[in-house]
C-alpha cells in the first residue's frame, strides 16, 4: 500500500489534499477507460479480450478495424483513413503508446508483440506530386516483434517493416525495413543487424 501511495504523496501532512485529488482523478480516468473500452468493442469490426483503449482515442471507420487479444492503445491515439473501405488489423499482445497517428487508408496489418512508442506517425497513402489529387492506397505490414521508437515517422512508400526490427527514436523511415535490423536517422538507414 505504501508503495502505491508513493506515486502521489510525499507523506507530508500538507500534501494530503493534493494527493487525494490526484488519486480521485486517476481512479476516475481508470474507470472511464474500462467503460469506454467495453463500449468500443461493440463499435469495432472485431475485438478480442483484454483490449484497452485509453482516454482520448479517436477512430474513424471503426467498423473496419479488428483488434485481437491483449492490445493496449494509449491516450490520444488517432486511427484515420481517407477511404471507407480500408482495413486495419492489430494482432495480439501489441502496444501502441500515447499520441500515435495511424493512417490506415492503404490497409495496415500490425503483427503480434509489436511495440509502437509514443508520438509515432504511420502513413499509408499519398498524393504523388499533386496535393489535390485523389489519394493512392499503399498497403503496409508491420511484422511480429517490431519496435518503433518514439517520434518516428513511417512514410507512405514503406510497405514492409520486418520481423524483430527496431526503428530508433526520431527516425524517418522512407523505405522497407529488413527483418532483424536496426534502422536510425533521417532518412533511416540500417545501423546494425540483429543476430
- Which three cell numbers mark 79? 486511427
Q: In this predicted structure, what is the pLDDT of residue 29?
A: 85
pLDDT in tens, 49-66: 999 999 999 999 999 999
Q: SS3 breakdown of the chain: % helix, strand, coil, rounded to 5? A: 20, 30, 50
Q: How far apart are CA 75 and CA 72, in angstroms?
A: 10
Q: Among residues of the chain, what percentage have pLDDT more than 90?
A: 72
Query: CA of 175: how far to CAs of 19, 74, 137, in Å?
Result: 48, 26, 16
* pLDDT band (50, 70, 90) for residue 36: confident
For each of the domains in the chain, give its residue range(s) and CATH number, in order of start: 41-193 (2.160.10.10)
Which residues on adjacent β-strands are paired with residue 136?
A: 126
Q: Residue 26's pLDDT is what?
A: 82
Q: Is the pTM of this model over 0.85?
A: yes
Q: pLDDT tier at 99 (50, 70, 90 boundaries)?
A: very high
In contact, 80 and 101? CB cutoff 8 Å: yes
Would you please indicate which residues are annotated as catalytic (active-site) residues? 127
Amino acid at each position: 500500500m505504501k508503495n502505491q501511495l508513493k506515486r502521489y504523496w510525499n507523506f507530508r501532512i500538507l500534501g494530503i489534499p493534493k494527493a487525494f485529488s490526484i488519486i480521485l482523478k486517476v481512479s476516475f480516468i481508470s474507470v472511464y477507460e474500462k467503460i469506454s473500452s467495453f463500449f468500443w468493442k461493440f463499435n469495432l469490426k472485431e475485438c478480442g479480450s483484454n483490449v484497452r483503449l485509453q482516454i482520448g482515442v479517436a477512430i474513424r471507420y471503426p467498423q473496419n478495424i479488428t483488434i485481437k487479444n491483449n492490445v493496449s492503445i494509449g491516450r490520444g491515439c488517432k486511427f484515420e483513413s481517407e477511404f471507407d473501405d480500408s482495413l486495419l488489423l492489430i494482432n495480439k499482445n501489441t502496444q501502441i503508446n500515447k499520441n500515435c497517428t495511424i493512417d490506415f487508408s492503404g490497409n495496415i496489418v500490425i503483427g503480434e508483440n509489436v511495440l509502437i512508442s509514443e508520438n509515432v506517425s504511420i502513413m499509408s497513402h499519398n498524393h504523388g506530386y499533386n496535393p489535390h489529387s485523389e489519394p493512392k492506397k499503399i498497403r503496409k505490414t508491420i511484422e511480429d516483434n517490431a519496435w518503433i521508437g518514439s517520434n518516428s515517422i513511417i512514410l507512405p512508400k514503406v510497405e514492409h517493416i520486418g520481423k524483430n526490427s527496431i526503428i530508433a527514436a526520431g527516425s524517418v523511415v522512407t523505405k522497407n525495413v529488413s527483418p532483424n535490423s536496426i534502422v536510425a536517422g533521417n532518412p533511416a538507414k540500417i545501423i546494425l543487424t540483429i543476430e
